[in-house]
Amino acid sequence: MSAFKLKSAFNKTVLAGALSLAALALSAPAGAQVKRLDLQSVFSLQVPSIGSSPVKWAERVALMTNNEIQIKVHGAGEFVPPFEVFGAVSNGSIPMGFDWIGYWSGTIPVANLIGSMPFGPDPTLFLGWMFKGGGLEIIQKAYDPHNVKILPCHLVAPEAGGWFNKEIKSVEDLKGLKMRIAGLGAKTMERLGATVQLVPAGEIFVSLERGRIDAAEFATPQLDLGLGLQKIAKYYYFPGWHQPSSWDSIIINKKVWDSFTEKQQKAMTEACYANITYNNYDQMGAQIDAIEAIEKAGVKIERFPEPVLKALQETAQQVMQQEAEKDPLFKEAYESLTAYIKRVGRWTDLQSLPRLN
């Protein structure tokens, strides 16, 4: 990703101020040096759950470092456009960012897979693979050449399949469809004849309302409801085959990361573990509340027909296999994650219980 030309005044403020040691904070222990830094999210801070996630992380970091690290979180576009956050962190224009990992697949192909794997692991399996199955080590190898440290910090629950203004009865209905969809799911839809585009979260409503797109996926029902798409879409489809679970992360300029003590780095990592735990239980009940609210708005809740899901799955596997042939780290992650799902997923298969009516 190319370097970004930011206003000189901003560069001076961020590089001379946010990245440097600041004055002693009143809330910090006497004699302690305080680091004050800025973080920009790719999302609006008003988006439910995901918007507040980096804010809660920053609060936890302050708590766990006794206020020696104070991070001011900014919403999408405050310093750079949302899809330029990675490049700005990479070149040091801003010290930190918060993202969906898959947004950077144009620069780092494996980010597409680790952001979310179509028909891939549920949140529990993805969590295990990331921290105990080698996932984090693989993605960090991909980020190292870009001078970026990654902290997986928000695990999103299974998403919805998307909002549509026409009923999807067969694979033929996907042909010619203009859809906002990201990641490997977008490549899969393209193979099946759809026209896809990546629209920032804050522009999805207007794009769907004005007919620039016919359909859109964003996230879970809780997050989708906050965008107001129930006001303009007729159908809401499940399952979220393209993102059965997905990762958001804190990204930190490597020089900034290296400036922290080992104890401070540990606190930041542990704060992400706490964030993930909080987000997991916070998301559960909120999803059915959102689905019920969406139904009350007059939207029809539907499941994709089985033949459509089968076609999507077969096509997604072809896409991932071809991506693996083009990029060695993608191949490493794909083989690692697939093997993990097969071996460790056996445990969850054995433990599955029949659901009582």
- Binding-site residues for substrate, in ranges, read 159, 180, 217, 243
Q: Which of these, 225, 250, 217, 241, lies nearest to 306 by C-alpha position?
A: 241
Q: Which residues have CB under 8 Å from 117's CB, separation 6+?
A: 126, 184, 244, 320, 337
Q: Binding site: which residues? A: 159, 180, 217-218, 243
Write the burial class of residue 219 (CB in 10 Å: 0-12 exposed, 13-18 middle, 19+ buried): buried
Give SS3 for 234: coil
Provide the token pair at 54. Answer: 């980096």
Give the pairing type, strands 162-164 and 235-238.
antiparallel
CA angle 107, 309, 229 (to 5 degrees): 70
d(CA 254, CA 257): 5
Q: Are 253 and 90 in contact (CB under 8 A)?
A: yes
Q: Which of these, 309, 316, 347, lies nearest to 334 by C-alpha position?
A: 316
Give strand pairing partners of 98: 41, 250
Q: Binding site for Na(+): which residues? A: 218
d(CA 249, CA 145): 18
Give the pairing type, strands 69-74 and 34-41.
parallel
d(CA 35, CA 97): 16
